Amino acid sequence: MRITQITQVALVAMAAIAAPAQAKDGPEGRRVDVSPYIEVSQILQAELSPGDDVLTYTQVAVGVDAVATGKNSAVSVSVRYERNIGYGNDALDSDTISGVARGYLSVVPQALTLEAGALASRTRIDGSGGTSTNPLVTDDSESRIYSAYAGPNVHTQLGDVQLNALGRVGYTRVESPDAIVTPSGGALLDVFDESVTYQGEVHLATKPGEPLPIGVGIGAGAFQEDISNLDQRVRDVHVRADVTIPVSPTLAFVGGVGYEDVEISSRDALRDTNGVPVIGSDGRLVTDKSAPRQLAYDVDGLIWDAGVLWRPSQRTSLEAHIGRRYASTTYYGSFAWAPSRNSSVNIAAYDGVTGIGGVLTRSLAGLPAEFEATRNAFSGDFGGCVSGEDGASCLGLAGSIRSSTFRGRGVMASYSRRMGRYSAVIGAGYDRRKFIAAEGTVLAFANGVVDESYYVSSSVTGQLGQNDSFTVGSYVTWFDSGFDGGNRVTAYGSSAAYYRSITSKLSARAAISLDRVESDVTDQDIAAASALLGLRYDF
């Protein structure tokens, strides 16, 4: 089995576990809700820019959306496989798997839990390394992102002391047809290939009043990401003590101090007799295994942070921190607000040193165990957002796909609302990546350079009648590269689909979409309009 199939197998396996029977409710909160389906569609795609080609092809897709919960377990899966079958000499033939899964199993109730998650998504990579979801099917820059993680969680009480610990192993891969892209006048772009992440944490703490007036804790953690490109390695080890000082039943001050050692290193690229970096058959830089490992980042010393916890009700919570880490000021926190049973707001700010694999596996681990994936109304692609009981969560798939490690800062926000027969989700975010690379290596030009991206996506679904429903979705991403020869790229699009039930299991679908990619480097923007007619059978 190819290692790139790990995530695909994980998605399918979790779907199978979640689908032992038709949708039903059981005792003790057990519920199994499974919706497998098959679709056959005829699609027409008209290129609006820079050319005027018109393609028609047949699409066959199978998928399953499932949520299964038990007394000590829960899993949610949305996975879809599609095959595009073209006609003629320039026929479009491709197959794609996309989806997301997240679940847990309590091996020892209220003590030991095993959890796992997986992601598969399509994306488009532009000449500066920026990505956007919902790529055009005919776009040569289409790439695939796969990510998965698994590990145990420990949560138990030792007298007055609460013990929390976790261990995770993750794997991430990007499959790109053109790994090395040379922007006009710019340096080589080495697209991320694959990485393995390891994370372990342990924390011991008491609650305020049990037995001291304040809560005290001590913890330690370690994170490592091994990136295949030039053997890059991120290693972060820390230990810290913290306190929780209650001010009122709903407000508390929190703070912590500790020691952290962060180290990033890599090897140089193999060079030919003329000193030119060697490009491998996969289009990526070849690592010189005989070269010594070189430090790109080495920071250790005191870390601290202070903040507040505010929880005035079960529907509102705020956590905000400011401190010092990575030899500079750091900010992070979260806000969750559910003004009613039918609406919710979620905001999260983050700051960390990692590679792409660390970003995706941590995002997967932060998803709820019960959710419904948001998909493109036309293509069925997973766009990176899910909605659950606590509102919407987004993985933030937009951003730079360069192989270099980076310090990533940003914020993600989402809003979801149900209005009778209608529901809406909107997600937005900002991501800033300052790259870190060793001097004297082929990636030295990337050190200190900043890439920024913004994204907004939305989806509205609803019932028009007893047998009619619709979905409308839109997205826009802005990417601004700080590299020489880099460019600003804007990608946006909208899609709409109408569904009509023919029988209890058979339905017809009509959909349209418009997508466009604009760049300030070239005058040849990419734009296409698509239309679809198809049938869907739900088992």
Residue-wise pLDDT tens digits, 248-257 = 999 999 999 9
Contacts of 179 (CB under 8 A, 6+ apart): 190, 191, 193, 282, 283, 284
- Provide the pLDDT for residue 141: 60
Assess whether pLDDT exceeds 50 at residue 19: no
Confidence of residue 23 (pLDDT cuts 50, 70, 90): very low
Contacts of 447 (CB under 8 A, 6+ apart): 296, 435, 436, 437, 438, 439
**C-alpha dist (Å) from residue 11 to 48, 79, 172:** 35, 7, 14
- Provide the pLDDT for residue 20: 44
- Provide the pLDDT for residue 218: 97
Phi, psi dihedral angles at 27 (to 5 degrees): -70, 160
Greater confidence (123 vs 244) lies with 244
- The proportion of the chain whose per-residue pLDDT surpasses 70, expressed as a percent, equals 86
Assess whether pLDDT exceeds 50 at residue 524: yes
Cα gap 79→101, rounded to integer Å? 8
Task: State how beta strands 372-375 and 161-175 pair.
Answer: unpaired
Q: Which residue, among 365, 390, 360, 395, has the nearest Cα to 227 in the 3D structure? A: 360
Confidence of residue 185 (pLDDT cuts 50, 70, 90): very low
Assess whether pLDDT exceeds 60 at residue 9: no
Residue-wise pLDDT tens digits, 166-183 = 999 999 998 876 555 444
Lowest mean pLDDT among 79-93, 147-161, 259-273, 388-402: 388-402
Q: Let me know if 170 is exposed, middle or buried by CB neighbors in 10 A (0-12, 13-18, 19+).
A: buried
Cα gap 4→175, rounded to integer Å? 8
What is the H or E stretch that residue 472 is in? Answer: strand 468-481
**Average pLDDT score over residue span 77-102:** 84
- Provide the pLDDT for residue 125: 67
**Average pLDDT score over residue span 254-277:** 93
Listed in order, strand segments (DSSP E) in 482-538 are: 488-501, 506-519, 526-538
Assess whether pLDDT exceeds 60 at residue 127: no
Name the residue with tokens 């991320």.
192
Cα gap 24→26, rounded to integer Å? 7
Task: State how beta strands 316-325 and 328-340 pair.
Answer: antiparallel
> Which pair of tokens denotes residue 353?
């040193």
- Provide the pLDDT for residue 184: 44
**Average pLDDT score over residue span 265-281:** 89
**Average pLDDT score over residue span 415-430:** 90
- Provide the pLDDT for residue 21: 44
Q: Which residue, among 375, 346, 335, has the nearest Cα to 121 in the 3D structure? A: 375
One-letter amino acid of 270? L
Name the residue with tokens 């897709």.
61
- Provide the pLDDT for residue 345: 93
Confidence of residue 281 (pLDDT cuts 50, 70, 90): confident
Cα gap 169→224, rounded to integer Å? 10
| Per-residue DSSP letter, 22 | S
Lowest mean pLDDT among 76-80, 390-394, 404-408, 470-474: 390-394
Assess whether pLDDT exceeds 70 at residue 129: no
Phi, psi dihedral angles at 422 (to 5 degrees): -120, 150
Q: Which residue, among 125, 235, 217, has the nearest Cα to 178 in the 3D structure? A: 125
- The proportion of the chain whose per-residue pLDDT surpasses 90, expressed as a percent, equals 56
> Which pair of tokens denotes residue 438?
């060793």
CATH class of 3-538: mainly beta
Listed in order, strand segments (DSSP E) in 367-421 are: 372-375, 382-388, 391-394, 405-419
> Which pair of tokens denotes residue 22?
């038709």
Task: State how beta strands 94-108 and 112-125 pair.
Answer: antiparallel
Q: Are 200 and 166 in contact (CB under 8 A)?
A: yes
- Provide the pLDDT for residue 87: 77
Greater confidence (454 vs 400) lies with 454
The 10 Å Cβ neighbour count of residue 342 is 12
Q: Which residues pair with 40 in a beta bridge?
A: 60, 535
The 10 Å Cβ neighbour count of residue 212 is 12
* Mean of per-residue pLDDT scores for the chain: 86
Assess whether pLDDT exceeds 50 at residue 207: yes
| Per-residue DSSP letter, 17 | H
Q: Are 383 and 376 in contact (CB under 8 A)?
A: yes
Name the residue with tokens 């000193």.
275
Domain coordinates of the chain in residue numbers? 3-538
Confidence of residue 198 (pLDDT cuts 50, 70, 90): very high
Residue 458 falls in which region: left (phi positive, over 0), alpha (psi -120 to 50) or beta: beta
Phi, psi dihedral angles at 92 (to 5 degrees): -95, 115
CA 123 from chain center: how many Å? Answer: 12
Confidence of residue 67 (pLDDT cuts 50, 70, 90): very high
Name the residue with tokens 């099917």.
137
Phi, psi dihedral angles at 356 (to 5 degrees): -60, -35
- Provide the pLDDT for residue 396: 67
Task: State how beta strands 391-394 and 382-388 pair.
Answer: antiparallel
Assess whether pLDDT exceeds 90 at residue 341: no
- Provide the pLDDT for residue 86: 82
CA 435 from chain center: how many Å? Answer: 19
